Structure 1
Amino acid sequence: MKIVRNLSTDKLAVISLIIIIITIIVGLFAPFFAPYDPNEVNMGLRYASPSWEYLLGNDHLGRCILSRIIYGIRPSVLWVLVALFISVLIGAVLGFLAGYFKGKVDALIMRICDIMLSFPGYVMTLAIVGILGVGLENILIAFILVKWAWFTRVIRTSVMQYSDLDYVKFSKAAGISDLTIMYKHLVPVTFSDIAVISSSSIGSMILQISGFSFLGLGIQAPNAEWGMMLNEAREVMFTRPELMLAPGFAIVLIVSAFHFFSDALQVVLDPKLITSKTKREKKLETYNMTFQEKEVANK
């Protein structure tokens, strides 16, 4: 496939994709990869330094930090992916309805989106969590309720670009059902836009859920989550700063991987960006060759 070939030429994108796949696999099969029970308390190992038995050491309750990092993938990444999928699914359905049928349907859906988007995302999320209560499930529900409107507006704009093309009008005139037209003609051409906005949103959602857990609004003890692990290590950040390195590095690594992969995916799926990137590379190559020739001439 052309997309796969183009992605394979970008080393950073390949490395990012490998990190994402490994993270998801380790999170799905956490019991097989975690060396110990993440909630097992052993006060005899309280604040123990890293060793061959406990590669990342132990926390304030003697729990294995590596095991908690591995189990923390589930709420920090996997459940965020589930919330993202549901948000994109709702946004895609409403976005296709608004962009394809237009008129009153579009006006109704867009007014609802305007109401939802008129509130800042963090404020809206905090308000929902305040109503429903703290916990991972309520944070994920808040994400879905906040994010779907943004996805709806973006996908609706993408659909409207293609809904008035000649082949779509011909399909309508031929008596093909609206559902078939959307499935066969509009979904394939808008899939790239949906993929890009989805991949670009996952990083911010991971940061948000880690931030809420750091504030004590997300997943609750004793369950493992990266943001909560940062909060637990905050009390000894000056005496044992290494306790913050593992969860902090995990967050930075996976968020960076999603961002780098999203950028590469956007370049691959947008021919204009591919052309501009190729031109920049050619200009840089020409400049380097000219600079080398001048250096040789000066010598």
Structure 2
Amino acid sequence: MKEFILQHKRFSFYSLLVAIVVGIAIFAPYITPHDAFNADMSKSFLKPSAQHLMGTDKLGRDTFSRIIYGTQTSLFMAIILVILTAVVGTVVGILSGFFGGKVELVLMRFTDIMLSFPGVVLAIAIAGIMGGSAINAILALVVVSWAKYARLIRSAVIKLRHNDFIAAARLNGTKQLTILWRHILPNVLPLTLITGAMDIGTMMMEIAGLSFLGFGAQPPTPEWGLMLNENRQYILSSPELMLYPGMAIFIVVTIFNLWGDSLRDILDPRSTDSH
């Protein structure tokens, strides 16, 4: 372990930061100094102090507690979104790349259609039709995000299916489902993991964007994009209410983007740094 840390200092450092963020998200209910949902109108718009480190919002709720609790909401939504997107895209990519022919034609034409639409605009339309909620926002973003994974995985599978070990498995009478499970999936899984890790920050931004527009998390859920929307009308009188959730989004998204980039350097044999 020590040798790995010394060899991959950049990845180890960002992994530590990711672990801290994940730890905050998991233990958010236990480390917040105040109830993130408790409203007290007599304490509305209090400025930062020893009792309320980031002040309070229009309903008298502690901003610092809501920022901490928002880590759980934003991060878990992003992780669920990445997992669902990666699973759908990987399955479509494997099926189209391995079987080819009409299967590939149908799946890839549908993938091209999805890629031709502006992703965020389509996600807003889908979320608007289904109604604003965290679950609907996740489903809407899955619909518009899986196509990228399908394209990447299909290209990798096409290269793999012509390898000698796949031909040997077929000559031995191995069933196609077994080939897919034992030979294809393990070889494309690192590509899926790399893409998913690099997408966590992006997905967090898109979730925050939908919540800001009213199509994502709904009040009183402490979610950073929703907090920006709730406080935007007070930007002149209490600009810190916009500053804190914006900083939280910026910091966490940056951490996960840098972590995903360093993970790619380790898992992707074609990257320059790993050589």
Q: Same fold (TM over 0.5)?
A: yes
1:154 alignment counterpart: 152
Residue among 123, 128, 148 paired with 2:121: 123
Q: CA deviation at 1:93?
A: 1.4
Q: Which runs of 4+ in 1 moved over 4 A?
A: none
**2:6 paired with 1:14:** no
Residue 182 of structure 1 and its aligned partner are, at CA, apart by: 2.1
Q: Does 1:142 align with 2:140?
A: yes
The reply on whether 1:60 has 2:76 as its aligned counterpart is no
Matched to 1:229, the amino acid is M
Give the aligned partner of residue 105 of structure 1. Answer: 103
Q: 1:230 to 1:198 in 2, by over 3 A?
A: same
Aligned amino acid, residue 168 of structure 2: F
Q: Which residue of 2 aligns with 1:251?
A: 249
Let me know the Cα RMSD of the aligned residues: 2.1
What amino acid sits opposite 1:26 in the alignment?
A: I
Task: Indicate conservation of the 8 Å contact 1:19/1:254, yes or no.
Answer: no
Offset at 1:10?
4.3
Amino acid at match of 1:34: T
Given residue 191 of structure 1, which amino acid in structure 2 is its aligned partner?
A: L
Unpaired stretches in structure 1, ≥5 consecutive residues: 279-299
- Post-superposition CA distance 1:65-90 (Å, at most 9, x none): 12111221233110121121011111
Letter in 1 for 2:54: L
Which residue number corresponds to residue 269 of structure 2?
271
Report the CA distance shift for 1:272/1:111 in structure 2 as closer, same or farther (over 3 A): closer
Looking at structure 1, the residues matched to 26 and 143 of structure 2 have their Cα atoms a distance apart, in angstroms, of 26
Q: What per-residue deviation string (whole Å, max 9, x for no partner) do you get for residues 92-146 of structure 1?
A: 1121111111111111211221222221101211110121111211111101111
| Structure 1 residue 271: Cα displacement | 3.1
Alpha-carbon deviation of 1:224? 0.9
Matched with 2:85 is 87
2:74 equivalent among 67, 73, 76: 76
Kept in 1: contact 2:201–2:256 (CA 8 A)? yes
8 Å contact from structure 2 (residues 208, 223) kept in 1: yes
Mapped pair 1:132 → 2:130: yes
Q: Work out the CA distance in 1 between the residues paired with 2:249 and 2:130.
A: 26
Kindly state the Cα deviation for residue 180 of structure 1 after the two structures are TM-superposed. 2.0
Q: Which residue of 2 aligns with 1:34?
A: 32
| Alignment-derived partner of residue 207 in structure 1 | 205
| Alpha-carbon distance, 1:35 to partner | 2.1
Contact kept? 2:194, 2:260, Cα under 8 Å:
yes
Could you tell me whether the CA contact under 8 Å between 2:81 and 2:203 is conserved in 1? no
3-state SS in 1 of match to 2:271:
helix
Partner Cα distance (2:271, 2:14) in 1: 20
Amino acid in the other structure paired with 1:41: A
Residue aligning to 1:295 = none
TM-score, normalisation: structure 1:
0.85
* TM-fit CA distance, 1:201: 1.6
**Which residue of 182, 185, 188 corresponds with 1:187?**
185
Larger Cα-atom Rg: 1
> Which structure 2 segments of 5+ residues have no match?
none
Report if the CA contact (8 A) 2:37-2:61 is conserved. Answer: yes
For the pair 1:225 / 2:216, whether they are aligned, the reply is no
Aligned-pair identity (%): 37
Confirm or deny that 1:170 pairs with 2:155: no
C-alpha deviation, 1:185, in angstroms: 1.9
Report the Cα offset of residue 40 of structure 1.
0.8
Equivalent residue of 1:271, what SS?
coil
* Shift in Å, 1:8: 5.3
What do residues 224-244 of structure 1 show as CA deviations (whole Å, max 9, x unaligned)?
110111222322223322222
SS of the equivalent of 1:218 reads coil
Verify the 8 A CA contact 1:24 1:78 in the aligned structure 2: no
How far apart, in 1, do the equivalents of 2:10 and 2:240 lie? 28
* Amino acid aligned to 1:177: K
Cα distance between partner residues in 2 of 1:132 and 1:24: 30
Give, in angstroms, the shift of residue 169 of structure 1. 0.7
Shift of 1:60: 1.6
TM-score (norm 2): 0.92
Q: Which residue type is aligned with residue 267 of structure 1?
A: D
**Structure 2 vs 1, CA of residues 269 and 40 (structure 1 numbering), >3 Å: closer, same or farther?**
same
Aligned pair count reads: 275
State the one-letter code of the partner of 1:199: A
